[in-house]
Structure 1
Amino acid sequence: MSKGYIQELSNNVERIHVRYNNRYGIAIAGDLYMIKDIDKNKKYPAIIVGAPYGGVKEQGPSVYANELAQRGFVVLTFDQVFMGESGGEPRNVSSPDIFSESFSAAVDYLGVKIPYVDRERIGVIGICGSAGFALSAAQVDTRIKAIATASMYDMSVAARLGQNAEQIQNMKEALSLKRWEDAQNGCPEYLPGFPEEPFDEVPAGTPEPGAEWMRFYAVKRGHHSSARGGFTTTSSMAMMNYDLLTHIDEITPRPILFVIGNRAHSKFFSESAYEKANNPKEIYTVEDAEHIDLYDRTDRIPFDKFESFFKKNM
């Protein structure tokens, strides 16, 4: 298996490392997947796959890309800016605007730089936190023709989740004071949640949902040294002050597919977004699947559903 990738690359698939800039001039590192011996004189539909919040292209996106390339799509995965092999300083900073822009930058790259991609047939899959950013991009970028999410998280909602007004105010105060500290130190605080080297197993007594994240990111199943969990502490301020899905109803008439696991703790994010969106829209439930199962479990990820959705709608 190639270094860092959690998915063995099919003998029928070619993977090429690529780099391109977003509209801010920050370099984005990506992987382009396609069937081997592809006829580059033809035009093919393309799918952009975004990693979970804090994840990298070598994790869940490589699983999706490996399979979808075999089904006739050109697939682009990428590291978010400030993450993995992409540019941007300081590292591990997050921004709802810039992270959403990454999807439009991927559309730019596919439509301009890859001549065998049909720029009228470009779709997106957002896994976990990338789902919110993908939907946000699609609200304004009509070049994205179809959008699917897997185990969706809306990080702008998650930033305030489960807190009352007093708790939110206290968090704002703490984050504001942290900015003084960051400014004095000359760099923002980043506290990784996962080990540099993978555990053999999740430490006993780890509570949920933390234990679920550990079952993927902290053990050999999904561990990657560039995806150690979370972002700089004050990154939460940007998420608290932003609503990723304000205009989700304006994606229509382009279709949205929400894929959820029946045991996923995150189901309500997809259900809430589904209610806000206009038709055409669909929720598809995967049986016997928790949130992280839609990252990498090929016996759970409904690739037939994704294939039919994109081939019908692009």
Structure 2
Amino acid sequence: MQKLNLTQEWDKTFAQSSLVDHTKVTFDNSYGFTLAADLYKPKDLEGKLPAIAVAGPYGAVKEQSSGLYAQTMAGKGYLTLAFDPSFTGESSGSPRNTTSPEINTEDYSAAIDYLVSRSDVDEDKLAIIGICGWGGMALSAAYADPRIKVTVASTTANLNAEAGQNRSQTLQYIAAQRTAVAKGVKAATMLSVPEEINDETPQPLKDFYHYYRNPERGYHPRSINSGIAVSPIATRGFVHFSMFDYIGEIENAVLMVHGENAVTYPAGKALFEQLTGDNKEFYTVPNAIHTDLYDQVDKIPFAKIDEFIKRHLSD
């Protein structure tokens, strides 16, 4: 296990709850990366608890939306783990601030490994929550790891589809970038969320800006989307490899939650239609946009998520 330099003070974008205890933990994945996580545990419960691992959104860190989900669900009786995926935040992995469909799917299984190693976790009652791009990653993990009894995918983005737009052109551009780097030219970088917006900025980018760039809402210095430039070379995995070829074979329960007005709603609905079985459910949040389900606690359907998880963990 690699030694990580973990921030010990509370540096989340949400207030700390008095209902749960919070500690920082680390665990390794099968690729040898050490992941950093926030563990939330109900103060008034003992014995073996049902457990949930949480990650996302894409380009975010555990101090943002995933931590809010984890802390809130811990208040409802679960032991929860919000983790930074490989290459991101306080977790290890190089190059920094990149993603990999395979490795980040493995990160969920590594989180499950950590949870089942604990004496206060009921290993037969394990769930995961994925937000935005990690909602898609959660579906990939749900197929890959049958220990995951319930999966919740919130405001899911299909990273394969987004990266695969103009697939041939994208791959040509990435190949040209690799050639340039091989010849000693500094790699090009890009920002996922603009530094500034104006009347011409597409509405989805405005929504992301108002979350990730706003210090009163979702800004965090370790978050890629809050202003860290990344190399476009890192997107090739999502162009070339599909996470969703086998999600129709997921046997355990899946709840997909989407805002009615989310830009990702059609993609989320299309993924849901690939699922099979009577233990799959799509829940629409009225009048909600994509980023509302990051942090707007009056719109995130925590009661529905809790009910679905508890019902299917007891099956």
TM-based fold match above 0.5: yes
Which residue number in structure 1 is paired with residue 211 of structure 2?
A: 216
Give the alignment's TM-score, normalised by structure 2. 0.90
Which residue number in structure 1 is paired with residue 244 of structure 2?
A: 245
Equivalent of 2:269 in 265, 271, 277: 271
Shift of 1:15: 0.9
Does residue 95 of structure 2 align to residue 77 of structure 1?
A: no
Equivalent AA in structure 1 for residue 16 of structure 2: L
Which residue number in structure 1 is paired with residue 3 of structure 2?
A: none
Equivalent AA in structure 2 for residue 142 of structure 1: P
Which residue number in structure 2 is paired with residue 178 of structure 1?
A: 177
Shift of 1:183: 2.9
Alpha-carbon distance between aligned partners in 2 of 1:238 and 1:264, rounded to the nearest angstrom: 25
Shift of 1:4: 3.1
Alpha-carbon distance between aligned partners in 2 of 1:131 and 1:143, rounded to the nearest angstrom: 17
Q: For residues 199-210 of structure 1, what are the structure 2 equivalents within 5 Å?
A: 203-205=197-199, 206-210=201-205
Asked if the contact 2:97/2:224 (under 8 Å) is kept, the reply is no
CA RMSD between the two structures: 1.7
In the TM superposition, what whole-angstrom CA distance separates every residue of 1:116-170 from its partner, at most 9, and x where no partner exists?
1011111011100001111111112100001111100121121123x3xxxx322
Give the alignment's TM-score, normalised by structure 1. 0.91
Does residue 284 of structure 2 align to residue 285 of structure 1?
A: yes
How many residues get paired?
A: 299
Identity of aligned residues (%): 34
Which residue number in structure 2 is paired with residue 6 of structure 1?
A: 13
Does residue 42 of structure 2 align to residue 35 of structure 1?
A: yes
Equivalent of 1:64 in 61, 69, 94: 69
In the TM superposition, what whole-angstrom CA distance separates every residue of 1:165-212 from its partner, at most 9, and x where no partner exists?
xxx3222111101012233448754433458xxx8xx63323222111
Which residue number in structure 2 is paired with residue 149 of structure 1?
A: 153
Asked if the contact 1:54/1:231 (under 8 Å) is kept, the reply is no
Q: 1:180–1:288: structure 2 CA closer, same or farther, 3 Å change rule? A: same
Which blocks of at least 5 consecutive residues in structure 1 are unaligned?
none
In the TM superposition, what whole-angstrom CA distance separates every residue of 1:207-244 from its partner, at most 9, and x where no partner exists?
22211110111112101111132742111211101111
Q: For residues 75-154 of structure 1, what are the structure 2 equivalents within 5 Å?
A: 75-112=80-117, 114-154=118-158
Q: 1:189–1:70: structure 2 CA closer, same or farther, 3 Å change rule? A: same
Alpha-carbon distance between aligned partners in 1 of 2:305 and 2:114, rounded to the nearest angstrom: 22
Equivalent AA in structure 2 for residue 31 of structure 1: D
